[in-house]
Amino acid sequence: MKIAVQHLARIEGHAHLVVDTAAGELLECRLEIVESPRFFEPLLQGRHYSDVAPIIARICGVCSNSHTLVSLAASEAALGVRISTQTRRLRKLLAFGEILQSHLLQLYFMAVPDYLGVPSIFPLIQRQRELVSRALRLKKLANDICWAVGGRPVHPVTPCLGGFSALPAAAALQDLRRQLVAALPDLEQTVELFAGFEIPAFERPTEYLCLSGEPGYPVFGEAIISSDGICVRVDEYLEVIEEYCVPHSTAKFARASRDSYMVGPLARFRNAGKSLSPMARKVASALGLAANTSNPYLGLIARLVEVVHCAEESIHLIDDILLDGLRSEPLPTPNKGGYGVAAIEAPRGTLFHAYRYDANGCILNADCIIPTAQNLANIEADLRQLVPTRMHLEQDALTRELETLVRAYDPCISCSTHLLKVDFV
Amino acid sequence: MTLAVAPPGTDPSGTTLWRPLSRNDIDLLVRSLSHAYEVVGARERRGRVVLDRIDDPAELLLEYSPKVHSPKKFLFPNWEKLFRFRLGGKVLLESERAAVPRVIFGMHPCDLHAVQILDDCLFEGEADSAYRAKREATILIGVDCVPDEHCFCTSMGTDRSAGGFDLFFHRVAEGYLLQVGSERGEALLRRHAPQVASRPGEPPMPWQAKQTGTGLRFPFESLAPLLGEAYDHPIWKAVGEKCLGCGACTLMCPSCYCFNVEDRMDIDLEGGARVRTWDSCQFDQFTRVSGGSEFRANQADRQRHRFFRKYKYLWEKHQRTACVGCGRCSRECLARIAPTEVLNNLFEERALPALKSPGAEYHPQLADIVAVEDLTANEKIFRLRLDGPLDFSPGAFMAVSVFGLGEAPFTIASAPGSGAEIEIVVRAAGNLTRALHRLRAGDTVGVRGPFGSGFPLQEFQGKDLLLVAGGMGLITLRSLLHAILARRADFGRVTLLYGAKDVADILFRQELLRWHREGLLDCRFALRAENNGWGVLRGDVTKLFKDLEIVPARSVAAISGPAAMYRFTNPLLLRLGFSEESIYLNLERHMKCGLGKCGKCRINDICVCECGPIFPYSRVRHLKEAIER
Amino acid sequence: MKRRIGFFDFTGCEGCQLTVLNLEDTLLDLLDLVEIVEFREVMSGSGGELDIAFVEGSICRPDEVERLQAIRARSKTLVALGACADTAGVNALSHFRDLQQLQRDVYGDHPTPAGRPRPLSAVVQVDCRVPGCPIDGQEFLSVLKALLMGKPPELPAYAVCVECKLAELPCTFDQGIVCLGPVTRAGCGAICLLGGDRCRGCRGMIDNPRAQPYDRILVEHGLSEADILREFRTFNMSGEKGQ
């Protein structure tokens, strides 16, 4: 039996799924990443730091805020720029907005159709209009956070080196807080919706990697940790993560302690679930998400738990920001070069940027490791283990289960083909 | 605003009340007004002063230079719904609600003047009702301004405003003095700041002249005539080459109001609104017509239009300067186009008379000799090519230079309308003329002219012509003959009486004979020499006056010859019945400058090079020096 | 009969499609108006004949060429969605480098198919565009509405300066910061200027940029020719010759 799904639907970016079995044996199983590489490093070489974040944001529309924020953090590390508490909080709020927006898009628009047996969310407008309206309401709120803090949800405008070129109005933040509180019923109903889904059973333990160092559930972090015992500083990332080329993929794959590892909501939950917000922990418990689960399908539930966490944490974060009051802060003009590494927990997992600058503030070289690139080996390993156990299914049903597994990772293919380590001689 | 019997803001004796008020009073006034009106004023946002809603009186700024939008932002807003409509079956027009009652604080005198201009333009003809509604619903409160280096209101007469406001706050050392400009303003004061309304008036402060950073170096009344003459001036090209076409000048200008109208549909495509938005003569597509052509296609044309509209067209229409010197256009212009600079440049170039370099009128232009031909033993005819076509009447002369030898006058022997080439006949009589005779085709001479007034051809039309030539006098008449023959049908019978010494002295013999044979003119010769061998009348030209069939009433005589000839021909002509006005003489003297200056050609009280050399006899009859010796 | 529309993407970040999905307030009304029959990012299944195809991303590889041509063949109207599709956008920056060398640097000896990113118009007839990186959601709606009403969509012919002045923003040039606003097409509401950044020209140039006066202003602000080129070379590479 041969399964070849071209241009997998309901994921970000382009990938083909190829599975070949014969006589009960798996011959071939791969996720072909066919997205064209755009070679973002050459785009960056020689560019001034004020251009780096805007260019790098264009790698990905869905996680442009994560790229922007980690890019700025890496530049600040390289150029010796410190940021204020206000900036740190606003960036975290923007990160929350993006995680909410990305997770909600994936949950409602990409994953829900699988579990409700429809090709997309659009047919539900007739039969379950309220579900669609709710999805749009929640997504709009997430985007409103990004509008208020970042200036625009896709490819933000206001974050810049050392701070923000424009601050949100206090009234805007107050309004967001009101809306976040008002969104709780919608979140409850979302939890109920997912509670009714039948998540396929499948276990494949792997290494789970994420950031750590800040108190609380990780967004930014100074250290990399994993379930296999990795604990290094972020700037030592190259010592624990190894990228390698694969013939059928324009994206590189990665390994750490084992042949493959996972980043993303499930990895974060496993490593730091105790630090989730109170409501999020309740939801995790209600949905039966155990701390030691190794079912990659449950990435879906971990994602939903993170939605609740981010919503609740955003309320507190806005309160902190408003209590101190927003103040216009001067922006730095660094005058030396250097090397810096930063990492952020993007919606899909740990994202690393590393830059080397010359004394004029222009990029000498750049490196990025993308969450999805780190997951690709693990996805394939999961598929290779999953297929033999599902051989009894009809081709269509099997295809659906395999697609659902891929979607559980919420891969972002556009990102993963673009930032690959290049050394300029 | 119509005034009541007792003007608002005055006491019973009619004296203007200047009531003192403090910043605190103003804050209270703002707070009170906000309950009933939307209060708009200058406030700071992102490091820039903007004109916007005031929520907290402390935000209101009262001292600022015009860095903001003008009140046009609210009186004639950028995005204005004209009406809504719904499709499907019947199209329903839903009218818009009335205008929001509003108070605009901080209108500088220039902006108050600008509102008057908008009134002129938008109320004339079919009044713009949307604007009128806003105008009537908006209270205007003026305030003194702080001019900066771009303001030039003093040049435009807009630095103070006698009216057009409801209230005006004049800045004084201890606060402000309030002046009421309308009944509505007085009523507003009584209701919203009664403590101020009840204060006794104080003497007004003496008028302080404003210091603006730039200005016109000439009175603004000269603007319209200045521009009227400068339509094709190269300055517009220079301005156009700097201009980015961004439209900032017109968008920020308080008296610009050009707009576009378009329909915007709702998402269901079943209804929509027709809206108007600000447009600009500086934009592409502003003047595009169907078919794609734009009739003001480049920035030079567009900037010129802007200047003409502000400083000429609207002034001529309304007798009010349409530019109020607020300086917004130059303040906002990235290319630094400043109207004072442009207008001052235009004025400076024009203020001085078209000054040639000293002595320019004596500089000849250089002309090439195209051809030289012998006419007679002593005379040659030269064809000269000048820089451009020459406009003259037959009888005019050129001053021809042979450098080193001098300059001399020569009658133009060819007819007007021959383009850039003329012919002169030169008799070798002196140094210069002999030198001329030595020149060949390809050589260069200097020419000045044409000088003198020639035959008034218009007056000869439809008449018979009697031409009398003596000797070289024919040269002048040859020019006249060519001009006549070019429009032969416009004239009656043409008779030429030509007296010369001998056959060999007859100029243009072949030409004359040909014309005679062709019946174009009746040519009669008289030669003084014996045995002239030609069989023509022997004697002088007067002999030819016999047997003339002339009807003097419809004839004109033109005589050209030595002065002595006139003494005889004139009486003959008069006896024939010609009137003194219909006899034209060619009086030549030694013309030197050709400009009526050197004095050499004066006869009694006239100057030949200026008034002649062609004169009607009636004009020179009294010149005892000329003829009646 | 509702018009059938589809969304497609090639080599790009999918931010433009996401911007369409971000029209939360209008999405349901939109779906009353048209039928989305194909939208890979959020739908399984393909659509057959289309009235309007919105296509995002640049074209790099032969298989992308084929796929685009197939879309063109089954669509009445094809709209370039976003800068990558319209002008190649940021992708065109790779034109700077030698492609073979790039591939070797990144992939070593593993061959991988990739060509120079090109705009859609290099491969098929494009009927109209929604410019920007990303697009403006409201502009997308007005283009869609115009197409549904059968009139050619009109984009502003004037520059971003207009929107900046209407928003009463300070001019970046006053702070010595160079901005591409004077030659960039308006329609975005000067969003980056509102956010305190300068205009980087992501929407492409107006049809009639006043190049000479603008160059002069840039030089007056101390930019060398190399600097001026670098300013333009973020989103407007495709305007240069030799690609």
CB contact under 8 A, C195 and A414: no
Supply the pLDDT for residue A420. Answer: 38
In the structure encoding, which two tokens stand for residue B542, read together?
């007067």
Interface test with B, best of C161, C164, C180, C197 (most B CBs within 10 A): C161
In the structure encoding, which two tokens stand for residue C18, read together?
């996401």
Report the distance separating Cα B99 and Cα B214, nearest Å: 38
Q: Contact at 8 Å (CB) between C56 and C96?
A: no
The alpha carbon of residue B39 and the mean position of all alpha carbons in its chain are separated, in whole angstroms, by 47
Supply the pLDDT for residue A149. Answer: 97
Half-sphere exposure of A63 (CA within 13 A, CB side): 28
Q: How far A247 CA lies from chain C's nearest CA (Å)?
A: 7
Q: Contact at 8 Å (CB) between A409 and A375?
A: yes
Compute the Cα dihedral for C85, C89, C90, C91 and give only its sign. Answer: positive
Report the distance separating Cα C203 and Cα C206, nearest Å: 9
Q: Contact at 8 Å (CB) between B584 and B557?
A: yes
Supply the pLDDT for residue B545. Answer: 87
Q: Contact at 8 Å (CB) between A267 and A208?
A: yes
In the structure encoding, which two tokens stand for residue A202, read together?
């499948």
Report the distance separating Cα B265 and Cα B307, nearest Å: 37
* C200 neighbourhood in chain A, CB within 8 Å: 54
Q: What SS3 class is residue A288?
A: coil
Cis peptide before B613 (omega within 30 of 0): yes
The edge-to-edge listing of strands for the beta sheet with B365-374 is B406-411, B397-402, B444-451, B365-374, B379-385, B421-427
Q: Contact at 8 Å (CB) between A371 and A60?
A: no
Supply the pLDDT for residue B1. Answer: 46
Write the residue in A10, A119, A143 that is nearest to C22 by C-beta.
Answer: A143
Residue type, C26: T
pLDDT in tens, C174-195: 888 899 999 999 999 999 999 9
Residue type, C79: V
Output phi, psi for B349, to 5 deg. -65, -30
Supply the pLDDT for residue C240. Answer: 58
Element at A42 (helix H, strand E): helix A40-44
Q: Contact at 8 Å (CB) between B279 and C166?
A: no
Strands (E), B150-204: 167-172, 175-180
Question: Which has the closest alpha carbon to B50: B33, B71, B76, B79?
Answer: B71
* A58 neighbourhood in chain C, CB within 8 Å: 13, 15, 89-90, 133
Q: Which of residues 53-72 of C touch A (CB under 8 A)?
A: 60-61, 63-64
Q: What SS3 class is residue B426?
A: strand
Question: Touching check for C79 and chain A: CB below 8 Å?
Answer: no
What does the CA dihedral B48, B52, B55, B61 come to, rounded to 10 degrees? 50
Half-sphere exposure of B85 (CA within 13 A, CB side): 15
Q: Is 50 exceeded by the pLDDT of residue C242?
A: no
In the structure encoding, which two tokens stand for residue B188, read together?
């507003």
Report the distance separating Cα A292 and Cα A379, nearest Å: 19
Q: How far C27 CA lies from chain A's nearest CA (Å)?
A: 8
* C183 neighbourhood in chain B, CB within 8 Å: 244
Question: Which has the closest alpha carbon to B96: B87, B83, B85, B78?
Answer: B83
Supply the pLDDT for residue C140. Answer: 97
Residue type, A402: L
Supply the pLDDT for residue C111. Answer: 58
| CB atoms inside a 10 Å sphere around CB C193 | 25
Q: Contact at 8 Å (CB) between B118 and B72?
A: yes
Could you tell me which chain A residue has the CA closest to the CA of C193?
A157
Residue appearing with tokens 């908008």:
B118
In the structure encoding, which two tokens stand for residue C41, read together?
């990012």
Q: Contact at 8 Å (CB) between A382 and A375?
A: no
Question: Touching check for C193 and chain B: CB below 8 Å?
Answer: no
Supply the pLDDT for residue C78. Answer: 97
Q: How far A243 CA lies from chain C's nearest CA (Å)?
A: 11
CA dist list (Å): B24 to B31, B91, B138? 11, 53, 23
CB contact under 8 A, B241 and C213: yes
Q: Contact at 8 Å (CB) between C126 and C77?
A: no
Q: Which of residues 82-141 of C touch A (CB under 8 A)?
A: 89-91, 93-94, 96-97, 102, 105-108, 110, 112, 114, 117, 133-134
In the structure encoding, which two tokens stand for residue A29, read together?
């199983």
* C173 neighbourhood in chain B, CB within 8 Å: 334
- Average pLDDT per 10 consecutive residues for chain B, totaling 629 residues: 58 74 93 93 85 92 82 90 78 70 92 93 88 92 89 90 88 88 91 88 74 85 86 91 94 93 90 90 86 85 93 86 92 93 87 62 88 91 90 90 87 88 91 90 90 88 92 91 91 92 88 91 88 74 85 91 86 90 86 80 80 86 67
CA dist list (Å): C87 to A51, B437, C194, C206? 20, 75, 25, 13
Global ipTM: 0.92
Alpha helical stretches, state H, chain C: 15-21, 24-33, 62-73, 83-87, 99-107, 137-148, 160-166, 191-194, 211-220, 225-232
Residues of chain A with pLDDT under 50: 419-425
Cis peptide before A332 (omega within 30 of 0): no
CA dist list (Å): B168 to B4, B107, B179? 19, 9, 5
* C208 neighbourhood in chain B, CB within 8 Å: 245, 284
Q: Which of residues 13-42 of C touch A (CB under 8 A)?
A: 13-19, 21-22, 24-25, 27-28, 31, 36, 39-42
Q: What SS3 class is residue B80?
A: strand
Supply the pLDDT for residue B3. Answer: 45
Report the distance separating Cα B502 and Cα B517, nearest Å: 21
In the structure encoding, which two tokens stand for residue C162, read together?
């207009």
Could you tell me which chain B residue has the CA closest to the CA of C221?
B334
Helix, strand and coil percent figures for chain C, each rounded to 5: 45, 15, 40
Q: Which of residues 204-223 of A touch C (CB under 8 A)?
A: none
Supply the pLDDT for residue A424. Answer: 30
Report the distance separating Cα A122 and Cα A109, nearest Å: 9
Supply the pLDDT for residue A421. Answer: 36
* C31 neighbourhood in chain B, CB within 8 Å: none
Q: What one-character DSSP code corresponds to residue A368?
A: E
CB pairs under 8 A between A and C: 170
Question: Which has the closest alpha carbon to A50: A399, A408, A354, A332?
Answer: A332
Question: Touching check for A61 and chain C: CB below 8 Å?
Answer: yes
Residue type, B205: M
Output phi, psi for A371, to 5 deg. -55, -50
B442, with CB counted inside 10 A (0-12, 13-18, 19+), is exposed
Q: What SS3 class is residue B559?
A: strand
More confident residue, C239 or B206: B206
Report the distance separating Cα B210 and Cα B216, nearest Å: 14
The edge-to-edge listing of strands for the beta sheet with B38-45 is B19-21, B175-180, B167-172, B138-143, B102-107, B38-45, B48-53
Supply the pLDDT for residue A393. Answer: 85
Supply the pLDDT for residue C241. Answer: 44
Total-model pTM: 0.77
Q: Is 70 exceeded by the pLDDT of residue C104?
A: no
Question: Which has the closest alpha carbon to C38: C12, C56, C62?
Answer: C56
Which residues partner with B408 through β-bridges? B400
